Structure 1
Amino acid sequence: MGVQFSQPWFLLLLIPAGAFLYYAYKSDFRLSGFRKKLALFFRTCVILLLILMISGLHGFTVLHDKQVVYLADRSDSMGDSARITGWINESLAAKGEKDGSAVVSTGLEGAVERRLSSADNAGASLNALLEQRFTGLESGLQLAGSLFEGSSDSRIVLISDGEENVGSMAAAGRLLKDRGIAVDVLPTPKQVIQDVAVEELKVPDKLYQAESFYVEVMIRSTFKTSGELRIYEDNREIGRERVDVTPGENRYAVKGLAKSPGLHRYRAEIFMDGDEAAANNAAFDFTRVEGPPKVLIVEGTPGTSGNITAALESGMIGTEVIPPELLPLEAAKYAVYDSIIFNNVSGSDVGGKQMELIEQAVRSFGIGFMMAGGEDSFGMGGYFKTPIEKALPVSMELEGKREIPSLGLILVIDRSGSMDGTKIELAKESAMRTVELLRSKDTVGVVAFDDQPWWVVPPQKLGNKEEVLSSIQSIPSAGGTNIYPAVSSALEEMLKIKSQRRHIILMTDGQSAMNSGYQDLTDTMVENKITMSSVAVGTDADTHLLQSLAEAAKGRYYFVEDETTLPAVFSREAVMLAKSYIVDKPFVPAVQNAGDWGSLFQQGVPGLYGYVATTPKSSAQTVLSSPEPDPILARWQYGSGRTVAWTSDLSGKWSKEWVSWPGFASTLTEIVKWTFPQFTSSPYEVTTETAGNQVKLQVIAEGENPPEKLNAVIGDDEAGEQTVELIQEAPGRYTGLVHVSKPGAYLMSLEDASGEEALQAAPGTGFVVPYSPEYRLSSGSGEEAMKRLAEVTGGRVLSWDNPAEVFDRQATSRMNLHDWSYPLLVAALLLWVADIAVRRLALPWGAIGARLAALLRRRPAPAEAARDAGLERLAARKARAASFYGGSSAEPPQAPPARERSGAGSSARGGSPAPAPGAAPAGGRKAPPEARDGARKGSAPTPPPPPPKAQGEGKDRPEDTGPAPEGGSSMDRLLKAKKRGTR
């Protein structure tokens, strides 16, 4: 046993404390005698105790015993625990008399088999009930660490194969290291058995009714054998195959057919010859089967989509055919389709709003999109820089690919007052988009007109596109409408341009002020091989005049009711000037990068007679290509959706060999099915995390008003069902725990429980709980993990051949500290209260002190004590009488001593006997020091004054008029007595 200070520098406070106590003793005049000394003593003790407490005074005991907790892994991978029990009992035989031991078992969680004990007959029976399908070494280590008592040499002995699958023993080891607890490990080799396990089962996330699919199974084996693989859908067998497996991974695919809509569970089981473990012979998955898919076909020319509808319907895919003018203007109406096909549709027939909605449906909602070629499709359809081009895997620009004839283009744009607002802005956007399609060697001019023509961009080589675009952007709207001067000025400038192809585009929304003289203009155009196309915007335009001008000038006439199609019209016109966009020569497409479509073209590829040239985007996958090479079939992922570009036609003009090919229907069906959505749109995102026999659900609700209460309804494959109330941790984020008793595929639906009745909040989904990782084929990393744990905590790697090694070591000497701060504080508080009592309470402190002093001295003989007691009682009565009659200020009489001390006699001063030394006067006050000193010196004390006379008595006596006795007047004596009483 010893003592020590944790903060010894606080002991320096004893120096100022001693000075303070000395000053307090010298300066405190209110107390005197024993009372003053007692108060000073208490105060000294209080200060001393407080200084010791803040200095960290504590005791300690040096310990040399050992404490060992055995942690036995009793999971299923460890096999029989009899070997572990025997090894622990053998090691306990070597423990010392004072050494303690305990036993803990662990499976999914830890359990105490026996608490810490130093008894020699303590055994190591392992009988606790555990969940043995999992190995949770972290839980066991935490429980073992909590059993140690005091600060002895603490150590955990871990007996395991190290193949943990719940928690982290490394994390528990770091905490044990901080506590000074070492972990010795006894690695247990995993039993080597013949085992075949189903490690993986994969089914497509989404299927359509009547769709064929493959169930993919991965089997891992430790030996070569054969057996049977069975596939079940909702506990109904749908496939059975005889398989041969070899050591390692073995993969198989079993074909299935989605027959009924809804969520379906799938299970794969194996029955193998010589397999010694059955717990890992099944795997699970689930999928959603939708009703027949539906595809929207938009055809540019009526009656040209028969080949497409026949092919898709043969693959159980529903179709709906509409013209481009009937495309929906609401985003929700596109969500009912799984994919959209544009069959040779011109961009001038598709409104800008519809293009934006289709692009959004592909990017955000995962709806598929496919464009089939033709003379009015891709670049020929005016899709340059449109939302549709953004979604496609190909671009419409061909610059740098082939020699295109030089172009001379003049845009004649109406800028009258009727064009104000959206019309003029779209007209400028159309002109700018057309300029962007041209090359630096092309010549461009822009003339805007109202009553008179105004050359915004005089005809010039397109050297600086930015300057031309900026000039077009500055066109204002004002004035009337007069077409003839503008067309005449444009023709005059066009005659000066030397280009291989020359073209004028006229756009207006009104009536011209004059309608004569146009015949001469169109005749001049035809003679000089100049063409002109006209665009009538809205019903107010002079459609008859514009159509006749286009026909007379060998151009094209467009009537645009939706002005948002203007950019597509201008782009189409610019592209049609370069006839090289259409390649109309026979060839056989080459397979370039088919990927999973490779099987579609294993038997060869039919020939084609033409296509529309495009450029593949950098991240697109070109499946088939032409000799140039241009993409014929390309695909890519765009946002959440998938899109496909087929640059030839599907009507038979260029693809007559394809549409007559026996594999056309299945090939087109597979191409379109590839574009179908890969997920089910839902306002809730559900994630699951499996830990042991619990599944943690996390649901995130999208939108501004998430439900207040959300429940998850979980169903298993035996018609069992449980409802889990999800806790809302944050707005729109919910969590919950699901307890599962066995592996399998569990179906789940979400219910909004905010109202009186629970309503389904989202489409059903599910999650898979595989068989425990305890039964997976061993990776062999468990022993290394245990060795790292021992190294981190300062433990050892033990051997099965030497159980006594557990206690065969020198115990580390450790101090067991005893905290004394609380007792010191309690003692200081009690002494502080005593100090207050001494200073504030009016008690006979003199008598108390005298009695304490008498007890400390040697007690007198019985006869002398009796005589002294009588004298003391007489002196006390006299003192009380003197005090009562006002003589308290005089020195009290003292009794004669019982016997002579130190050879000195006792002579009474004034002839009056004195009380015994140290005797207390009446009233409990101690005799003054002078009296005691006189008694010690043997001199007679001063006799007390006579008692006061009664009222009126002796007034005539001469002695009453004499001087006042020593000690002052009666008033003085009363004041002094009052002061003494208040002390």
Structure 2
Amino acid sequence: MGVQFSSPWFLLLLIPAGAFLYYAYKSDFRLGGFRKKLALFLRACVIILLIFVLSGLHGFTILRDKQVVYLADRSDSMGDTARLSEWIGKSMDAKGEKDGTAIVSTGLEGAVERKLSLSGEAGASLNAALEGKFTGLESGLQLAGNLFEGTADSRIVLLSDGEENVGSMAATGRLLKDRGIAVDVLPVPQREIRDAAVEELRVPDKLYQAESFYVEVMIKSTFKTAGELRIYEDNREIGREVVEVSPGENRFAVKGLAKSPGLHRYRAEIFMDGDESSANNAGFDFTRVDGPPKVLIVEGTPGTSGNITAALESGMIGTEVISPHMLPLEAAKYALYDSIIFNNVSGSNVGGKQMDMIEQAVRSFGIGFMMAGGDDSFGMGGYFKTPIEKALPVSMELEGKREIPSLGLILVIDRSGSMAGNKIELAKESAMRTVELMRSKDTVGVVAFDDSPWWVVPPQKLGDKEEVLDAISSIPSAGGTNIYPAVSSALDEMLSIKTQRRHIILMTDGQSAVQSGYDELTQTMVDNKITLSSVAVGMDSDTNLLQSLADAAKGRYYYVEDETTLPAVFSREAVLMAKSYIVDKPFVPAMQNAGDWASLFDQGVPGLYGYVATTPKASAQTVLTSPEPDPVLARWQYGSGRTVAWTSDLSGKWSKEWVSWPAFANTLTEIVKWTFPQFASSPYEVTTTAAGNQVKLQVESDSDNPPEKLIAKVAGDEAGEQTVELIQEAPGRYTGQVNVSKPGAFLMSLEDASGGNSVQAAPGTGFVVPYSPEYRIASGSGEDGLKKLAEMTGGRVLSWDKPEEVFDREATSRKVLHDWSYSLLVAALLLWVADIAVRRLALPWAAIGARLAAPLRRRPAPAAETGRDAGLDRLAARKDRAASFYGSGGGSAKPPAADGPVPEQPRNRGAGTGEAGGGGTAPAPGAAPAAGRKAPPEARAPQRPKVPQRERPPASAKPAGGTGGRSAGPPPPPPPPKSSGGKAMEAEEQSGSAMDRLLKAKNRNSR
């Protein structure tokens, strides 16, 4: 333990401080004695402590113990990590008693296996959960460096193959070097495996329709083998070849043909004999094919889209017709089309996932969308509160426009155990969506059933929707399935409801425990004009029973494989019961706000025979209206795309005059073209770089006025997207990062958000995230990187055969500083408070000082002090002897015995008058005391025993030898006369009073 000063020059302040204290001692007359000394001592301590704080007084300790943190690379390329754990355990056996060890594992990120511990039994297990698809040695080194306590020789032992693919261990090594932390490395040999990998796939960035091109594939292998190479375009195989590969790089080219315009994703896969790793057998790439636009037509009824396809193809627009069940489940598929048309498609046939993707394609990637009417479209198709309704310019809800018959509706919902999870949640959402469609004059009831019915919402007028919705949302799932009691209870309640239309919706996914007695129920329904529709969810449902119930009760039967369509089914049923959504009468549409479409109707507008009633949204542009008025043709901008609503049909049922109109083909073509993406070329150059599970986006604009705020929207193969606000690093240059969880294809669009509203800034583009570089065939340069790291930080390259050499070195001594500033300041503050108390408080400081000094008085006094006290004691003895000689109380003193020699006393060197230290003697009887005379022997010698007194001589007789020297004459004469005796008494009293004063002064000084 030692001390040191970080700023020793401040110690020079002790010189002026000493001068100040001396001046304060001399000039402060308010205090005295012990109190003054104590106050000065306290103030001196305060000043000295403050000077020590300014000079940076620190304590320090010299330590020689070691701290080692083992960093184990546990990425997938390392294979079995048991050998790492075994080596670490053997190494720890050689550590000293005061040496600390810790263990950290790393994959994509680091994780602490065990914190620093001195115990030799701490263990070397490696069990932390890690993402092994990447090797992030930088993250592991940073975490290991943070575990050191800074009190010992610190060292990291890195066990890795050095093949990092995230971060930079060299950058972290420089930081560790600055902190004095060395990194020892143990290179782990690469596993010898037979591996062939698709290292690279390239297709041209841009193609034209019908253009031939080559798909270039680079395959890297560690052994010679043969196998098959397959090329896919949008999951459709377009080429297959048998190839032979040799160790190293092998390049192949497969010829392709750009058949259809749009964004296309390409994938290359290999299937090689003897390949031991399949994680690196696929590669991806994107390209855009320019050519004639293409429209996807989804028809609800097969064979009803001939009018649409004929009109578009006459305008050189390609078409593709599919059923709703064929809608793609990948976002990239929708990017192949410029627009999508729903031709009288029921929402119950479109899955929730497909609805989300279509809405996302319109909003984020500028794909157009148009809905054509019919019996199964708009509100009649159950699109209320769906993503499709969100994208359309019209709403499915009729807001107080016409008198709609009152409706009594009871929902019978299966809540058995088989409905647990997503099914019961979608069933509750369906019921809630149906309730929201109903009006306050309607009556609604909800009964849930398992083995027995449970009335969640007893039949009631729909006054407070929120209360009903809250009750529905609380339905749990449990129990078995028994349909009959629930339907019977619903029918009993429905018989008491007085509304214009009465309807029951039954939904279940199971088999009923009771299979008989339903005929009587359905007959009662028919007799009382009550209808029932049934919904069978999944293959396990009692489809025969449910279909027979719907047919007997004159309702509709639905079989649902995708439970996400349940909300659309319930909404459709609620709308169908109202019937007022369909306006079935002839009329001629009127132009309201045609805009640039006004020229399409210069020659007049053909008549229509019906349409589906809707409500235009606030910002929508209504082009044609009905007499009610309801929108017949409406359009608006939705996000990056455009959508159109045509509420009549295009099959000829309500629009036979339109489809026979000579201008029909041109009019429909122009309407559909208006929905196409608005950008033919992009003013932005987009570059993507994958690093670990992150993709860095870099966007550069060549525009003179680049946007202030740019947003990127990225969507994967599945529904859902990430919105990334790009950071403008320089004028026209933007960067951002996107987190990805797995390799695959991604679509991206750019939006300008400078003005508060997002506007599409560029056409959609794509990028791919290949398989993790962890699975690439290693180049073998990892060991060199480890050696450079060890050399940079002052570490060593360890051996697998000598694990004990981790601790086989002399520990570097290290000085550990202890900051005393806080303690010194606290002590100075306390002493300053004590100094104020001594100076300001009126306490018996002398008594306090005496008590404090009492222990010191009990010690043997120093020589000088002992001599001073002995002199005072002798002086007091002389006083007693003088008083004894002259008598006490004014009487005569007893003379010395006559018959004995009087011992000679030393000559008195003073000339006092009886005061202490003066050495004078008492005056002889009858005469004044004279200076220079010797005191009687009795005044100096110890008191003797009393002897009988002789008869006193005459008063006139005097001793012959004066007062000094040895007396050889007769004994002292008798006392003088009364007057002379009075003077002797006064002299004796004066001598006694002086002695008393001396004793009192001594006592005061001792205080």
TM bracket, shorter-chain basis: 0.3 to 0.5
Give TM-score scaled by structure 1 length. 0.48
Scaled by the length of structure 2, the TM-score of the pair is: 0.46
